[in-house]
Amino acid sequence: MSNIRHALTVKREDDFAAWYQAVIAEADLAEESGVRGCMVIKPWGYGIWERIQRLLDDRIKATGHENVYFPIFIPLSNFEREAEHVEGFAKEMAVVTHHRLIGDGEGGLIPDPEAKLEEPLVVRPTSETIFGDAMARWIQSWRDLPLLTNQWANVVRWEMRTRMFLRTSEFLWQEGHTAHATAEEAKEHTLTMLEVYRAHAEEDLALPVIAGEKPENERFPGAVETWSIEAMMQDGKALQAGTSHYLGTNFSEAANIKFQDREGGEKYCHTTSWGVSTRMIGGVIMTHGDDDGLKVPPRIAPYQVVILPMLRDKPEDDALLAYCEDLRGKLITESAMGEPVRVLLDKKPGKAAAKRWNWVRKGAPIVIEVGGRDMENGVVSLLRRDELWNEETGKPAFQAPTPAQLTDEIASMLDSIQAGMFGTAQTWRNANVMSGCTSFEQLRDHYSDGKKHVGWVEVQWSKPTGQELEKVVEKLKDLKLTIRNVPMDTPAPTGSCIFTGKPAVEWIYVAKAY
Amino acid sequence: MSNIRHALTVKREDDFAAWYQAVIAEADLAEESGVRGCMVIKPWGYGIWERIQRLLDDRIKATGHENVYFPIFIPLSNFEREAEHVEGFAKEMAVVTHHRLIGDGEGGLIPDPEAKLEEPLVVRPTSETIFGDAMARWIQSWRDLPLLTNQWANVVRWEMRTRMFLRTSEFLWQEGHTAHATAEEAKEHTLTMLEVYRAHAEEDLALPVIAGEKPENERFPGAVETWSIEAMMQDGKALQAGTSHYLGTNFSEAANIKFQDREGGEKYCHTTSWGVSTRMIGGVIMTHGDDDGLKVPPRIAPYQVVILPMLRDKPEDDALLAYCEDLRGKLITESAMGEPVRVLLDKKPGKAAAKRWNWVRKGAPIVIEVGGRDMENGVVSLLRRDELWNEETGKPAFQAPTPAQLTDEIASMLDSIQAGMFGTAQTWRNANVMSGCTSFEQLRDHYSDGKKHVGWVEVQWSKPTGQELEKVVEKLKDLKLTIRNVPMDTPAPTGSCIFTGKPAVEWIYVAKAY
C-alpha cells in the first residue's frame, strides 16, 4: 500500500464520472458557460485543441484536401430534401426564426414579430447538404474530380444531457467532404481518412484505437458505410473518436451533384464525409488522466516543459530568473518530434508548491523547479508527469540534471514520454479486451456480475441485417451494450455467431460506450 | 496608349464595384451561398485567411494573450443588461427561438411549437457580455490581472445590404477581450493592440494604414475610446480594417467584474476589446488588385510560387515533371521572410495558357512555366505578378532564370515583391490625401465636382462634442462623407476648425467609406 497523497480528492476507482469532472476543473480545461449545454473552453483546454488542429490539419492537407468555409446557417428546406436525413438529424436542432430584437416597452427585448424569417434557418448540425449544393455548382466534368474539401467549424446539436467535451450542444470539429467519380475511389478515400484518423489518434494523441466498420444500425443517416476509430477509456467504456462515411450517391442524388465522364456520359458523384471533434479531448482525459489530474501527451501539449523559478521577492531573484531564462533559451532551440520544444517560464506570483501541483494537475509533461540551491549546485529539479512518484518513499520523483544534460536529453525524454503513454494505454487496452467469448451467456455474465470497468468483448457474429440485427441490438441494449465496430485486418472467424448461432463471418467489438 | 489586353473584362476605372465582384469570382475567392447574406469562402480565399490567422495569431500570442472559445449563443437577457448595449447592437441579429424541428404532416418540417425556448438565444454579434460573465467568475484579486484572452470565431450580424468580405451576415474574425487593474494600463493595452493591427496590416498584408482614434459618434456602443486602422482603397474610399476599444468600467459594472487590489479594496476592472475580420481580405483586394485580377502579398499568399509544367500527354512529360519536381524541391528548402517558401506544382489537366492566366487572376506572386524548350535551355519562364507586363511590347514580361539562379534569388525576390506592393500602395495613398484644406467650402468642392476616386482630406477641427458634433456629422453626411479617425503623432494644428471656426485642436481624416 503506497502512502502517496494524490493531487485530486476524487479517484478514478471511486467515481469515474466525478473524477472526469474534477480533472476538467482542476486542469482548468473548460467550464459550464451558463448557456444551456455549451461550455467555455479555457486556455489550457483550447491550447490542446489548437495542437490537435495543427497536427490533424497538416495530415488532412498532406492527403490533398483544401480548407474552405461554409455558412453556419442551413435553410430548413435542405433538411426536407431527403426523407432519410429528416429521419436522422432533423430532430433536436437550434432554429433561427427571427432576425431582429426590439424593446418590449418594459425595458426588455423580444424577437420582433415583424422580423420573422420566411424560411427558418437551422444552425448547422453537420454540413453535407450545404456542401452538396456547392459541389453541384462546382463540378462539371471528370476534370473537376476528385473534389477534396474540409472545414474547421462549430456545429450545434441540441443535446438534452450534456457532458463537457463528450457531448455538448455546441462543439468544434473538422468536417471533410469529398466527391469522386467512382464508388471504388470514394470507398478507398473513406478508408484513407480513417487511416489518417487512426494515425492522428495513435501518433499524436497517444490513443490506441480500433479502426473498423460500424454495423448497419450505427450508420450515419444517408451513409452506405460508416467507419470509426474506437478508443477504450479507463472505465472500460468505448469512445467513438472519429468517423468516416462513404455516402454512395445518396447526397449526390438529393443535391444533383453530377459530372460528365471521359466518354461524355452524365453520372452522379460518389461522396464521402468524415469528422473529428473536441470530443477527442475527452478521450485524452479518460485515457491518460490519473488520480493526480490530466497527463497531456507531449505532441499535443501547449507547453511540453514548464519552468518554475522559486522566487522570494528578494534581490537574489534576478540571478535565478537569469538562470531560468538561459535554460528556456537553450531548450527552445532544441527540436523534439519535428518541432521546436515548447517551453513556458511561469513567472506568475504564487507559492512554488502550489504552482507545481497546478502544472501536475494540468498534465504538463515536464515540470522544472529551480530554487537557489539548485542554482548553486548547477542543476534543476525535474519532475516527469509520467513518472511522478517515487513509489518507495511516496514522494515526488525529482531528478536533478544539469541544464546541459537536460538540453541534450530533452528530445529523447519527450519521445520516451510520448511512446510510453501510448504503450501504457495500449497494454491496458489489450488487457481489457476479453477474447474467446463463444456464447451470449458468457457475454452476459461478463457484464452482469456487478464488476466495474470490465472493458470490451470480442465476439464472432454472422452479420445479421434488418430485423434480425434489430433483435441483436435490443438484446445488447438490455445489458447497456453496443456493437462498436468490425475491426479491420482480422483473421476470418471459424466459430458460430453468439447471437444467431449461424456460422460467423466476422469479428466485432461489444462494449458500453459514451 | 498601351496595347495590353488585361485578364479581366471589367476595369477599375470603369466600374469599381463590378470590378471588385469580378476579382472575387475570377480569383475564385468566394461566392454567394444561397443562404441570405452568407458567403462560401473557397480554397484560395480561405487559404489567404489561414495565412492572416497564422500571422496575426502569432502577434496576439507574442503580446501575452491566450486563446479561448466561448459559446456561439448569448442569452437575450445579456443584451437587456445594459441600456447602451440594447441601443447599439440589439437590432439586427439572428435569434434562435426553437430547439427542435418536426414534420408538418405534409412532408415538410417546421419548428416544433412544443420546443420553444424559454429564453431566446442570440447568435453572437460580438462577445463582450459573455466574456464579461466569465471574467467575473475568473477574476478575484490583482494577482489574476491582467487577464488577456482572444478567440477566433464566426459572428453574425444580420445585414440588409451585403457585399462579399466587406459586409456579410456571417463573418470570421478574432475578438480579443482583456481586463486590467487600472484605466492607464487598459488604455495602454488598447494602443498596444492597435499597434499590433497596424504592424500586421502593413508588414503582413502590405496595406498602408492610418492608426488613430475614432470620433465620439463612431465609438463602439459601450466604449470610452474607439481606435481604428484605416486603409485607402483604389476608389479613394476608406476601409476601417480593425478596431481597438477601451471600454472603461462600462462592461465591468454590467457584468460585475471586480477585483481585490493590493490594499484589499474592491474595484471594477477596466476592460478592452479589439477585432479584425475577413473584411481584411476585401481590403487586400481593393488595395492590391488590378485589371488582371488579384495580387496577393507574398507573406499571406497560400502559395508564393506556382510551377506550371506544360504537359502534352506524351512520354517527354516524365522528364519535364522531374525537372519541375526538382525545382520545387530546391525552392521549398529556401526560407523567405522567416518561413519556408510555399510552392505549388500544379499538375492539374488544362491548357498551359489558361492555367497561367488562372494563377495571374488569383494573384500568385510568382508564376513559373516550364516547357520542353525551357528544359533544353536549362531555364524556366518566370512571371512576377507585380511586374506582369512589358509595357513596350504589351506582352507578359517573362524572365528566364536558371533553376539555380532562381533558388538563389527567391527570398530576395519575394522580399522585393512584398516591399514593392507596400511602397506602391503607400505612395498612392499619400498622393490621394488632400492636405491644406482650410474651409468647409474647399472640402465640399473637392468631393462635389463629380470627380471619381478623390481620396481623403486632412482637416483641422476643434473636436466638437454632443450636438455640435452631430451637426458636423450631418453636414458631412450630405456629402456622403464620414470622419475616419484622428491620426496619432501629428503636430499640433495651428489653424481653425473648418466646421466650427473655433481654434483647431487636432487633425482628422475625412472620406467616403465602406
Residue range A257-310, pLDDT digits in tens: 999 999 999 999 999 999 999 999 999 999 999 999 999 999 999 999 999 999
Distance (Å, rounded) from C-alpha A379 to C-alpha A218? Answer: 56
Q: State the average pLDDT over residues B308-320.
A: 93
Residues A133 and A262 in one domain: yes
Last residue of a domain, one of A373, A390, A417: A417
Q: What is the pLDDT of residue A103?
A: 86
State how far the Cα of A252 lies from the Cα of A247, in Å rounded to an integer.
Answer: 9
Q: How confident is the model at residue A160 (pLDDT cuts 50, 70, 90)?
A: confident
Tell me whether B111 touches chain A (CB under 8 Å).
Answer: yes
Longest dimension (CA), chain B: 82
**Chain B residues within 8 A of A158 when measuring between CB atoms:** 99-100
Interface touch A80/B108, C-beta < 8 Å = yes
- Flag if B76 and A103 touch (Cβ within 8 Å): no
| Number of domains comprising chain A | 4
Q: Do B116 and B131 lie in a common domain? A: no
Task: Check residue A1 and give its pLDDT.
Answer: 47
Interchain proximity B69–A46, CB inside 8 Å: yes
Residue B87 carries which side chain, given as an amino acid letter? E
CA–CA separation, B169 and A73 (whole Å): 10
Q: Same domain, yes or no, for A101 and A139? A: no
Taking CA atoms, what residue in A is nearest to B43? A68
Mean pLDDT, residues B28-52 taken together = 96
- In terms of domains, do A67 and A134 share one? yes
The whole-number pLDDT of residue B105 equals 80
CB atoms under 10 Å from CB of B447, counted, come to 20
Between the CA of residue A86 and those of A130, A134, A221, what are the distances in Å?
A: 15, 20, 9
Q: CB–CB of A92 and B100 under 8 A?
A: yes
Residue type, B380: V
Q: Are residues A282 and A310 in the same domain?
A: no
d(CA B87, CA B73): 20
Q: Do A264 and A347 reside in the same domain of the chain?
A: no
Q: A363: distance to nearest CA of chain B, Å?
A: 18
Is residue B413 situated within a structural domain?
yes
Could you tell me which residues come within 8 angstroms of residue A257 by beta carbon, excluding any fewer than 6 positions away?
A: A132, A135, A136, A139, A179, A251, A268, A269, A271
| Cβ within 8 Å of A, B 81-100 | 86, 90-100
Instruction: Count Cβ atoms below 10 Å from residue B232 Cβ, excluding itself.
Output: 29
DSSP state of B362: H
Q: Which residues of A touch B72 (CB under 8 A)?
A: 38, 72, 123, 154, 156, 170
Any domain includes B426: no
B468-477 per-position pLDDT tens digit = 999 999 999 9
Same domain membership, residue B168 and residue B105: no
Mean predicted confidence (pLDDT) in B463-469? 96
Mean per-residue pLDDT of chain A: 95
pLDDT at B350: 86
Percent of chain B whose predicted confidence (pLDDT) is above 90: 90
Indicate the residue among B85, B105, B123 that finishes a domain. B123
Element spanning B446, H or E: helix B440-448
**B141 lies within 8 A of chain A by CB:** no
Within 166-225 of A, beta carbons closer than 8 Å to B belong to 170, 172
DSSP class of residue A448? H
Name the pLDDT band for A87 (thresholds 50, 70, 90): low
Residue A8, in any domain of the structure? no
Q: What's the whole-number mean pLDDT along residues A113-140?
A: 96
CB atoms under 10 Å from CB of A467, counted, come to 7
Digit-coded pLDDT (tens) for B79-130: 888 655 555 555 899 999 999 999 888 878 999 999 999 999 999 999 999 9
B328 close to B366: Cβ distance less than 8 angstroms:
no
Residue B38 to residue A71, Cβ atoms within 8 A = yes
pLDDT of A192-245, one tens digit each? Answer: 999 999 999 999 999 999 999 999 999 999 999 999 999 999 999 999 999 999
Q: Would the CB atoms of B40 and A71 count as touching at under 8 Å?
A: yes
Percent of chain A with pLDDT over 90: 90
> Is residue B300 within 8 angstroms of chain A, CB to CB?
no
Confidence at residue B82, expressed as pLDDT on a 0 to 100 scale:
66
Comparing alpha-carbon positions, the chain A residue that sits nearest to B57 is A50
Opening angle at CA B54, ends B51 and B58, nearest 5: 145
Q: Looking at the structure, do residues B151 and B268 belong to the same domain, yes or no?
A: yes
Cα A95 from Cα A249, distance rounded (Å)? 28
Average pLDDT over every residue of B354-361 = 97
Question: Is B101 an interface residue toward A (CB < 8 Å)?
Answer: yes
Residue A80 pLDDT: 85
Mean pLDDT of B186-208: 98
Whole-angstrom distance, CA of residue B123 vs CA of residue B136:
22
Partner-chain residue, chosen from A38, A72, A100, that has the shortest CB–CB distance to B93 = A100
Lowest mean pLDDT among A346-350, A447-451, B116-120, B437-441: A447-451
CA distance B156 to B160: 12
- Sign of torsion over alpha carbons B188, B190, B191, B197: positive
* Residue B42 forms contact with A (CB below 8 Å): yes
Residue A180: its pLDDT value, please? 98
Q: Give residue B455's identity as a one-letter amino acid code.
A: G
- A242 min Cα distance to partner chain B (Å): 21
Using an 8 Å CB-CB cutoff, list chain A residues near B43.
66-68, 149
CA dist., res. B317 & res. B315, Å (int): 5
Is A5 inside any structural domain? no
Rounded Cα gap, residues A493 and B294, in angstroms: 60
Task: Test A130 with B33 for CB contact under 8 angstroms.
Answer: yes
The domain that holds A202 is classified in CATH as 3.30.930.10
- On whether both A261 and A323 belong to a single domain, the answer is no
When pLDDT is cut at 50, 70 and 90, the band that residue B159 belongs to is confident
* A80, A101, A170: best to mutate for the B interface, most B CBs within 10 A: A101
The strand pairing partners of B304, in sequence order, are: none
Contact at CB, B103 and A123, closer than 8 angstroms? no
A41 lies in the same domain as A139:
yes
Identify whether A426 is part of a domain: no
How distant is the Cα of A257 from the closest Cα of chain B, in angstroms?
16
Top-confidence residue, A108 or B387: B387
Q: Degrees (nearest 5) of the Cα angle B34, B37, B41?
A: 70
**Helix (H, G, I), strand (E, B), or coil: what is residue B361?**
helix
Confidence of residue A36 (pLDDT cuts 50, 70, 90): confident
Which of B417, B442, B458 lies at the terminal end of a domain, its last residue? B417
**Which is more confidently placed, B436 or B303?**
B303
Q: Does A25 touch chain B (CB under 8 A)?
A: no
Residues of A in contact with B107 (CB under 8 A): 80
Query: Length of chain B, please?
Result: 514
The predicted structure's pLDDT at residue B106: 80
Closest B-chain CA to A92: B100
User: Within this chain, do residues B252 and B339 fall inside the same structural domain, yes or no?
Assistant: no
B33–A94 CB contact, under 8 Å? no
How does the average pLDDT of chain B come out, rounded?
A: 95
Q: What is the pLDDT of residues A70-85, one digit of tens each?
A: 999 999 999 888 655 5
Averaged pLDDT, B260-267? 96
Note whether residue A9 is domain-resident. Answer: no
User: Which chain A residues contact residue B134 at CB under 8 A?
Assistant: 31, 33, 40
pLDDT at B1 over 50: no
Percent of chain A residues topping a pLDDT of 70: 97
Q: Average pLDDT in the A425-443 region?
A: 95
Q: Is A41 on the interface with B (CB under 8 A)?
A: yes
Mutate to test the interface with B, among A69, A278, A345 (most CBs of B within 10 A): A69
The residue range of the domain holding B368 is 305-417
- Quote the CA–CA distance of B321 and B375 in Å, as a whole number: 10
* CA separation for the pair A116, B98 (Å, rounded): 13
Is residue B456 predicted with pLDDT exceeding 70?
Answer: yes
The answer to whether B280 and B272 have CB atoms below 8 angstroms apart is: no
Q: The domain spanning residue A349 has which CATH number?
A: 3.40.50.800
Which residues does chain A have within 8 Å of residue B155's beta carbon, measured at their own beta carbons? none
A69 in reach of chain B (CB within 8 A): yes
From chain A, the residues in CB contact with B90 under 8 A are 101, 109
What is the mean pLDDT of the segment spanning A390-396?
94
Sheet holding A238-246, edge to edge: A66-67, A147-156, A170-180, A270-277, A238-246, A225-232, A209-213, A486-487
Q: Are B96 and A153 in contact (CB < 8 Å)?
A: no
Grid coordinates representing A249 are: 450517391
Please give the pLDDT value at position B49. Answer: 98
Q: Which residues of B touch A154 (CB under 8 A)?
A: 72, 153-154
Is the model's pLDDT at A15 over the cut of 60? yes
A294 part of a folded domain: no
pTM score over 0.80: yes
Phi first, then psi: give them for residue A392, nearest 5 degrees. -70, -45
What cell numbers appear for A241 in the block?
A: 473518436
B402: in domain: yes
Q: What digits encode the pLDDT tens for the residues B406-428?
A: 999 999 999 999 999 999 999 99
Strands A66-67 and A147-156: parallel
Domain match, B463 and B501 both:
yes
Instruction: List pLDDT tens digits, range B204-244.
Output: 999 999 999 999 999 999 999 999 999 999 999 999 999 99
